[in-house]
Amino acid sequence: MVGIRRAIALLFLGFYVTQFTMTAWLGPDELFAAYLGLALVYITAFVGLAAEWFWARWFAMGVGNFGSLLLLVLFKTGMEPIIAFVGGTHLLISLALMGEGMAAKYEHSERTAERYNFQEDSMALMRRAVKSAGSTLPFLILYGLAPREELFSLNLLAVGLGGLGIVGLLRARTWGLFALSGAGTIALCDAFGVFGAPTTGFLALAPDMSPTLYGPVGLAAGALAFLPLIFARPIFRHLRGR
């Protein structure tokens, strides 16, 4: 059922591409940048998954993990059908893409082996890094582009580093890892008030909905700061060898 499971994941990813794009287009102007950024994240996951790029399964699962966190909101608000639908469908994306049969279409495919020749240890590290980036990048977008009275240059720098870093990471470049870490460090410092009052953001799915997620989103985006720790051992071995 690999084909059916991938179709389900693509269906929901495409739905959220449309949803976030429409929210950006029809919603208030101050929401445009944040929701357009989220739409780009989902488009990346959708296109990569459809094109069978080796990293796409990991990235899409990370995006699914991001959305499934909304299910935790239900413990505070009680059963809210929209929140349950959004969290449940994101969880379904992650579950649909699990398994060795699905991996054989992506990171374990013959095309990937011929082109990249990953060692098993390197593959495992890349998987952890890309999944972490996929689940954290949307928080970085909400952090950097959240509506506020005036844009803070460091917020925009964090988003720029995040976009550049994800490109580098998906191309298996070390500089991408540290660009993402730099973006996370900025967000984490903001969350702890280093630059003043922490940036507060929210997530809403349509212009007529009340915000469903509040808080210092820099704290969640700050997880990117620790991404290089995944590669700490090979980096240390490389430096010691030099």
For residue range 137-187, what is the model confidence (pLDDT) as tens digits?
998 888 888 776 555 677 888 889 999 999 988 887 888 889 999 999 988
Token reading at 227: 């991404």
User: Structural domain of residue 76, as residue ranges?
Assistant: 2-241
Structure confidence at residue 39 (pLDDT): 94
> Does the pLDDT value for residue 202 go beyond 70?
no
| Least confident span in 55-64, 145-154, 209-218 | 209-218
- Percent pLDDT > 90 in the chain is 31
> Does the pLDDT value for residue 77 go beyond 60?
yes
Structure confidence at residue 207 (pLDDT): 43
Q: 242 pLDDT band (50/70/90 cuts)?
A: low
DSSP the chain: -HHHHHHHHHHHHHHHHHHHHHHHHHS-GGGHHHHHHHHHHHHHHHHHHHHT-TTHHHHHHHHHHHHHGGGGGHHHH---HHHHHHHHHHHHHHHHT-SHHHHTTTTTSHHHHHHH---HHHHHHHHHHHHHHHHHHHHHHHHHH---SS--HHHHHHHHHHHHHHHHHHTT-HHHHHHHHHHHHHHHHHHTTTTSSPP---B-SSTTSPP-B-S-HHHHHGGGGGGGGGGHHHHHHHHHH-
Mean pLDDT across 225-239 = 80
Structure confidence at residue 214 (pLDDT): 46
Q: 209 pLDDT band (50/70/90 cuts)?
A: very low
Structure confidence at residue 104 (pLDDT): 86
> Does the pLDDT value for residue 204 go beyond 60?
no
Token reading at 171: 């191309």
| Least confident span in 40-49, 154-163, 201-210 | 201-210
Q: 213 pLDDT band (50/70/90 cuts)?
A: very low
Q: Is the pTM of this model over 0.95?
A: no
Mean pLDDT across 217-239 = 80
Domain count across the chain:
1
Q: Evaluate whether 221 touches 132 at the Cβ level (below 8 Å).
A: no
Q: 88 pLDDT band (50/70/90 cuts)?
A: very high
Residue whose entry in the numeric block shows the structure tokens 């899409």: 60
Mean pLDDT across 71-79 = 76
